[in-house]
C-alpha cells in the first residue's frame, strides 16, 4: 500500500475544464486522473483506488448521473464519494437524482475556486487518515498473528519443559525411596549412578535454557583465548562419553596430529561439539557408530559429527537449527530434549565467526553435522607443554566456612567437604558469616551471594579489609553465572566463582590448588 499518493478522478468532456480543475486542485501527494467521458472514467475508476470523483453532469454519451448510478452497482466503485459539477439551474432541479446516485455534494459552475479547494481538501485528508488507519490495522493484524504464534510455541515449550523436567525428577524420587527403604541392597550403587546421571541431565537442561535466553538477549560474552582445537575436543568427548557408552555406541576419532589453533572460548567450543555428540548418541539406535572427524580446509577447521542413526528428512534439515524445533514429537524420537540444543549450537558457532550445516540422506540414513571455524596461528608448543606439566599439588585438609541461607544446601556442602578431607563450619547469614570467619580464621570460604542481612559481596569486601584473611580463598557460589556476575565477584575480592549446583570435582580441585 502506498500511503503517499491519493487519487482523485476528474471527468469532464471539455479539455479546458479538465485543465483548469487540474490547475486549481494540484497539490503534493495528489494524483489527478482525467477522463473525457463516462466510459473512460469507469475504466480509470476500476484501475485505481479513487478517493473522490468530480463528475461533470453534462457529458455526451453517458452523463454524470448515469456514470454515478453505474458506479453504485460496482463493488470496487460503490463507496467512492462523488461531487457533481453542474452548469445550470436545470441540473440543480435534477439534483435529487444525483443524491440518489450517491452524490455527496453539488458545485455550481462557474466554480468558486476557494470553495472547491476547501471541500476537496476535506476528502483528501479523510482519505489519508483512512489509509493510515488501514495501514495500522494491517500492522496490528500481523503483530497479533505473530504474538499468537509465539504464545502457541511458548505453551508447547512449557509443556515439553514440564515433561522433560518431570522424567529425571521422577527417577530421582524413585531412587530416594529405594535408598530409604533399602539402603544396603545390591542395587544401591546402580541407583546412585542412575540418580547422578538424571541430576546431570537436569543441570544440563537448565544450563541450556539459561544460555539460550542469554544468547538471544546478546548477554553471552565469549572468553576468547588462544586454544588448541584438540583440547576442546577432549573435553567434549569426555562430557559426552557417559551417554555414548550408555547407548553402547562406538566412537571413532579422526583428528589430525598437528596442533590446530583457534582464537575461541574453549568451554563453548567443547559445548558445541559435545551437544552434537550427544544428539548423535540420542538419535542413533543402540550400538551405532559415531564418528568425530576434523579436517582443515584453507584457513578453516571443519569438525564433522557423523552418525548412522535415524537421520533427518530433507525438508527438516534447515529447520533443526530453529529454536524449539524437534523433527517430530512422537515417542520414538522423543529422547529427552527441549529442541534448543541446535539453536544454541548455531548461535555459539556464529559468535565464533563460523558456520554449521546438517546433512542427511533421509530417514534411517544417519546424519552429519559439520561445523566450520576459523583457524588462527599458534604459539610455541613448548610453552603449552610447560603449562600442561605444572606439578600436581597434594591435597591438604582445610578449614572451610560454608555460608548459605539454604540450610539443606549448606549441610550437604558441609558433608561433601568432610568427604574430601576438609573441616567445614556452617553459617546462614551475612553477619553470622562475619562472626564465624573472625573466630575460626578459615583457609577457604564458600560464600553464597544472596544472603539475609548482608549479601555475599559485602561479606567478602568486609573480610578482605582484614589482613588476617590475606591468604584465605574466597569462593562465590551462586545461581547466576553471567560474565557480569563473575566480574562483580572478582571486584568484591573473590578468587573463584562457582555456579550452583557446585560440582564436587571442581570444588576439590579449587581447594587442592589453594594451599
Ligand atoms: P533436542 O535434541 O533437545 O530435541 P536439538 O535442538 O538438539 O533439540 O535438536 C533438534 C531436533 O533435531 C531433535 O529433536 C531431533 O529431531 C533432530 N536431530 C538433532 N540431531 C540429530 C541427529 N544426529 N540425528 C537425527 N536427528 C537429529
Of 378, 412, 385, 414, nearest to 399 (Cα)? 414
Alpha carbon distance 246, 269 (integer Å): 23
Question: How does pLDDT run across 90-130, given as a tens digit for each residue?
Answer: 666 777 888 888 888 888 888 888 999 999 999 999 999 99
Nearest atom in ligand 1 to the alpha carbon of residue 343 is: 6
Going by CA atoms, what residue is nearest to atom 3 of ligand 1?
A: 337
483 C-alpha vs ligand 1 centroid, how far in Å? 29
Atom of ligand 1 nearest to the CA of 344: 6
Whose CA is closest to 510, among 472, 463, 462, 455? 472
> For 22-38, what is the mean pLDDT?
94
Q: Report the alpha-carbon distance of residue 207 to residue 85 in Å, rounded.
A: 75
Whether 388 has a pLDDT exceeding 50, the answer reads no
Pocket of ligand 1, candidates 212, 215, 244, 279: which has the most ligand atoms within 8 Å of its Cβ, to mutate? 279
Check whether 149 has a pLDDT greater than 90. Answer: no
| pLDDT for position 220 | 77
Cα(335) to ligand 1 centroid in Å equals: 9
Cβ–Cβ < 8 Å for 261, 377: yes
Residue bearing the CA closest to ligand 1, atom 25: 311
Cell 550445516 found at: 357
pLDDT, tens only, 293-304: 999 999 999 999
- 333: Cβ below 6 Å to ligand 1? yes
Could you tell me whether strands 50-56 and 496-499 are parallel, antiparallel, or unpaired per DSSP bridges? unpaired
Atom 11 of ligand 1: nearest residue by CA position = 326
Q: Could you tell me the three cell numbers for 78?
A: 460503490
pLDDT tens-digit map of 171-221: 899 889 889 988 888 888 888 888 887 888 788 888 888 888 888 777 777
Ligand 1 center to residue 362 CA distance, Å? 14
410-434: pLDDT as tens digits:
888 888 898 889 999 999 999 999 9
Could you tell me if 171 and 41 are in contact, meaning their C-beta atoms sit under 8 angstroms apart?
A: no
Cis peptide before 121 (omega within 30 of 0): no
Higher pLDDT, 391 or 338: 338
**pTM of the entire structure?**
0.56
Q: How far is the CA of 327 from the centre of ligand 1 (A)?
A: 7
In sequence order, which residues have a C-beta less than 8 Å from that of residue 459 and are 6 or more positions away? 403, 430, 433, 434, 437, 447, 451
DSSP string, 376-425: B----HHHHHHHHTPPPPPP---EEEEE-SSHHHHHHHHHHHHHTT-EEE
Residue 280 Cβ contacting ligand 1 at under 6 Å: yes
Q: Is 279 in the pocket of ligand 1 (CB under 6 A)?
A: yes
484 vs 246, residue with greater confidence: 246
Which pLDDT score is estimated for 392? 47
Q: Indicate whether 402 pLDDT > 80.
A: yes
What are 454-468's pLDDT values in tens digits?
999 999 999 999 999
DSSP per-residue codes, 24-51: HH--TTEEEEEESSHHHHHHHHHHS-EE
pLDDT of 312 reads: 94
Q: Which residue has the cell 569462593?
A: 475
CA of residue 359 to ligand 1 center, whole Å: 12
Instruction: Tell me, using a 6 A CB cutoff, whether residue 368 lines ligand 1.
Output: no
Of 220, 205, 216, the residue nearest 275 (C-alpha): 205
332 falls in which pLDDT band (50, 70, 90)?
very low
- Ligand 1, residue 327: give the atom nearest the CA: 16
Q: What is the Å distance from ligand 1's center to 320 Cα?
A: 7
Ligand 1 atom 8 nearest Cα: 339
Whether 493 shows a pLDDT value over 90: the answer reads yes
Q: Which residue among 206, 243, 341 is best mutated to probe the pocket of ligand 1, counting the most ligand atoms within 8 A of its Cβ? A: 341
Average pLDDT along the chain: 87
Domains of the chain: 6-111 (3.40.50.2300), 225-388 (3.30.565.10), 399-513 (3.40.50.2300)
Q: Is the pLDDT of residue 515 over 50?
A: no
The number of beta carbons lying within 10 Å of the beta carbon of residue 494 is 24
Residues 441-451 have a mean pLDDT of: 93
In sequence order, the 6+-apart residues with CB closer than 8 A to the CB of 509 are none
H/E stretch holding 315: none
Amino acid at each position: 500500500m502506498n500511503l503517499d499518493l491519493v487519487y482523485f478522478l476528474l471527468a469532464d468532456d471539455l479539455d479546458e475544464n479538465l485543465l483548469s480543475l487540474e490547475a486549481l486542485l494540484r497539490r503534493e501527494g495528489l494524483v489527478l486522473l482525467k477522463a473525457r467521458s463516462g466510459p473512460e472514467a469507469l475504466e480509470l475508476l476500476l484501475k485505481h483506488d479513487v478517493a473522490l470523483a468530480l463528475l461533470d453532469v453534462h457529458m455526451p454519451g453517458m452523463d454524470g448521473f448515469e456514470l454515478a448510478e453505474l458506479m453504485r452497482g460496482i463493488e470496487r466503485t460503490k463507496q467512492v464519494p462523488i461531487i457533481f459539477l453542474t452548469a445550470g439551474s436545470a441540473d440543480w432541479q435534477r439534483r435529487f437524482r444525483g443524491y440518489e446516485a450517491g452524490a455527496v455534494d453539488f458545485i455550481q459552475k462557474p466554480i468558486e475556486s476557494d470553495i472547491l479547494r476547501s471541500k476537496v481538501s476535506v476528502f483528501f485528508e479523510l482519505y489519508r487518515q483512512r489509509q493510515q488507519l488501514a495501514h495500522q490495522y494491517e500492522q496490528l493484524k500481523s503483530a497479533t498473528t505473530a504474538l499468537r504464534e509465539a504464545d502457541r510455541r511458548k505453551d508447547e515449550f512449557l509443556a515439553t519443559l514440564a515433561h522433560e523436567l518431570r522424567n529425571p525428577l521422577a527417577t530421582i524420587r524413585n531412587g530416594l525411596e529405594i535408598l530409604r527403604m533399602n539402603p544396603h541392597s545390591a542395587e544401591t550403587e546402580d541407583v546412585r549412578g542412575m540418580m547422578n546421571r538424571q541430576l546431570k541431565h537436569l543441570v544440563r537442561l537448565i544450563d541450556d535454557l539459561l544460555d539460550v535466553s542469554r544468547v538471544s538477549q546478546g548477554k553471552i560474552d565469549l572468553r576468547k583465548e588462544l586454544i588448541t582445537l584438540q583440547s576442546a575436543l577432549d573435553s567434549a568427548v569426555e562430557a559426552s562419553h557417559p551417554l555414548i557408552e550408555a547407548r553402547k555406541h562406538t566412537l571413532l576419532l579422526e583428528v589430525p596430529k598437528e596442533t590446530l589453533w583457534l582464537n575461541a572460548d574453549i568451554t563453548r567450543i567443547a559445548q558445541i561439539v559435545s551437544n552434537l555428540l550427544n544428539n548423535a548418541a540420542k538419535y542413533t539406535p543402540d550400538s551405532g557408530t559415531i564418528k568425530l572427524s576434523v579436517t582443515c580446509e584453507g584457513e578453516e577447521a571443519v569438525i564433522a559429527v557423523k552418525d548412522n542413526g535415524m537421520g533427518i528428512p530433507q525438508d527438516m534439515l534447515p529447520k533443526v537449527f530453529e529454536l524449539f524445533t524437534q523433527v517430530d514429537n512422537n515417542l520414538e524420537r522423543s529422547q529427552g530434549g527441549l529442541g534448543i540444543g541446535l539453536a544454541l549450537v548455531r548461535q555459539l558457532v556464529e559468535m565464533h565467526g563460523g558456520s554449521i550445516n546438517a546433512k542427511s540422506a533421509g530417514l534411517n540414513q544417519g546424519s552429519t553435522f559439520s561445523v566450520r571455524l576459523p583457524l588462527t596461528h599458534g604459539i610455541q608448543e613448548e610453552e603449552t607443554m610447560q603449562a600442561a606439566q605444572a606439578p600436581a599439588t597434594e591435597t591438604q585438609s582445610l578449614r572451610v566456612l560454608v555460608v548459605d541461607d539454604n540450610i539443606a544446601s549448606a549441610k550437604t556442602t558441609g558433608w561433601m567437604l568432610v568427604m574430601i578431607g576438609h573441616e567445614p563450619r556452617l553459617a546462614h547469614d551475612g553477619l553470622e558469616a562475619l562472626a564465624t570467619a573472625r573466630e575460626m580464621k578459615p583457609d577457604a570460604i564458600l560464600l553464597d551471594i544472596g544472603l539475609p542481612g548482608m549479601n555475599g559481596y559485602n561479606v567478602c569486601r568486609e573480610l578482605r579489609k582484614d589482613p588476617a584473611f590475606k591468604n584465605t580463598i574466597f569462593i562465590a557460589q551462586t545461581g547466576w553465572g553471567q560474565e557480569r556476575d563473575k566480574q562483580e565477584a572478582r571486584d568484591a575480592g573473590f578468587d573463584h566463582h562457582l555456579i550452583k549446583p557446585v560440582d564436587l570435582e571442581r570444588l576439590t580441585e579449587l581447594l587442592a590448588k589453594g594451599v
